[in-house]
Amino acid sequence: MQSSGHRFRDVEHHPLLADNDSYDSSSSEADMAERVWFIRDGCGMVCAIMTWLLVVYADFVVTFVMLLPSKDFWYSVINGVLFNCLAVLALSSHLRTMLTDPGAVPKGNATKEYMDNLQLKPGEVIYKCPKCCSIKPERAHHCSICKRCIRKMDHHCPWVNNCVGEKNQRFFVLFTMYIALISAHALVLCGFQFFSCVRGQWTECSDFSPPVTVILMIFLCLEGFLFLTFTAVMFGTQIHSICNDETEIERLKSEKPTWERRLRWEGMKSVFGGQPSLLWINPFAGFRIRRLLLRGKKGGPEFSV
């Protein structure tokens, strides 16, 4: 299809929006900026709730089974503060990942008026997503769960009930890092606790009965090992992707880069923002408390508030 001196391609034949279906790009961008992003996916919401429950369970076992009964006051205080701080950072990173727009392309912007405003060069090819009727920027992919095209989409993660993309990858990396740290910390504490209980013949190592203590700690060890393995691998994969400026989808599809790659530190700075600092590991950086007004829109996969 020829339009305004440039070519327009899509994956399948799909008409543009009619000229009388007005689309205001500026108002749409401003509208998206005021949204709290939340994907209404049943599987994702169950996985997100399970993530929180597992972290709360680990915190319960560490605090009430291992640390509070300990006779070493400073051992309990230092490890309790450290573990709970890491847990808060992990859950905060999870929330930021889940409730942050990953880089969704505005729906229905494939109009003649909008394309004319792009000031494309003659013969330049642009692509339209036939599923959400939006112009796909370079490196954007359509997510069938979010029902949106996502800029620099890495993958859709059910554990955070969201896509990992251009705008929330930093929080996802922090989430995997903090979960790996609290998992490792819990495993170390379990090792010390087992040693202490065996040495004391299970008499004063816990306020719970020995069978209950053993069951709780075995489940915590299994949880810690599984989460440590999964999140450590995911953390390494994400750092590798960032340093090579290549998303997981692009790697799996073996897409040849048509963009100028930002390698190593340039890629890290583009994701985490600015020069290396403590803000890189702070999930609260850039957080703004805004008034949330539910608009009551229906039919979309995300809440608009």
Q: Give the residue numbers marked as catalytic.
A: 157
Residue 11 amino acid letter: V
Q: Which is it for strands 125-129 and 134-136: parallel, antiparallel or unpaired?
A: antiparallel
CB 136: neighbour CB atoms within 10 A? 20
Taken in order 27, 102, 294, 286, is the CA torsion positive or negative? Answer: negative
Identify any residues that bridge with 8 across adjacent strands, giving them in sequence order: 126
Give the CA count within 13 Å in the CB-facing half-sphere of 43. 6
Give the CA count within 13 Å in the CB-facing half-sphere of 243. 8
- The Cα–Cα gap between 212 and 222 comes to 16
